[in-house]
Amino acid sequence: MGKILSREALRQEIDRLKGEGKKIAFTNGCFDILHVGHVRYLRDAGKTGDVLILALNSDNSVRAIKGDKRPLVPEDERADVAASLEFINYVTIFDELTPLELIEYLQPDVIVKGGDWAEENVVGRDSVRRWGGRVVIIPETPGASTTNIVEKIIKVYGNK
């Protein structure tokens, strides 16, 4: 079995892993251009459970959230890059604007978000607590963002 799974296949895998006593950590996002901030965040997210699931926003979802110019990298390529990281166990793609439906379906033990999120605003917070789980907020890497990278590219190469 590969690391990129449909939500149905992922649910079966989670059931198996939980049967073995494993703690499931879940995070989500666009991860359009993978950068050092993402890598550090995902590495730390992987330490919050025995298994880390990364739910990637689909291309349609990214466009709805970030505008018509995004994503810069298509969902299948973003999924392949993310799946290549050793600290990510599984990747799934979701089409909704938020991962709430997916969180309710998968029922992870931990929801992990970056430091730009206040815990009270984390989607799925009430759900994960309802089944005994928790939310973990991981500090951001200062200055590391896709927007900063894109702005630098435009500044350096914009007129060429």
User: Which has the closest alpha carbon to 14: 83, 79, 75, 92?
Assistant: 92
pLDDT of residue 60 exceeding 80: yes
DSSP-assigned beta bridge partners for residue 28: 55
* CB of 49 closer than 8 Å to CB of 24: yes
Omega into 71 within 30° of 0, i.e. cis?
yes
19 vs 50: CA distance, rounded Å = 13
The pLDDT value recorded for residue 142 is: 75
The pLDDT value recorded for residue 85 is: 97
Taking only the tens place, the pLDDT of each residue in 2-53 is 999 999 999 999 999 999 999 999 999 999 989 999 999 999 999 999 999 9
Residue boundaries of the structural domains of the chain: 7-157
The pLDDT value recorded for residue 24 is: 98
pLDDT of residue 96 exceeding 70: yes
| DSSP symbols for 55-100 | EEEPHHHHHHHH-TT--SS-HHHHHHHHHTSTT--EEEEE-SSSSH
Mean pLDDT of 111-132: 95
- Indicate the CATH number for domain 7-157: 3.40.50.620
Provide the pLDDT confidence category of residue 147 given band limits of 50, 70 and 90.
confident
Global pTM value = 0.92
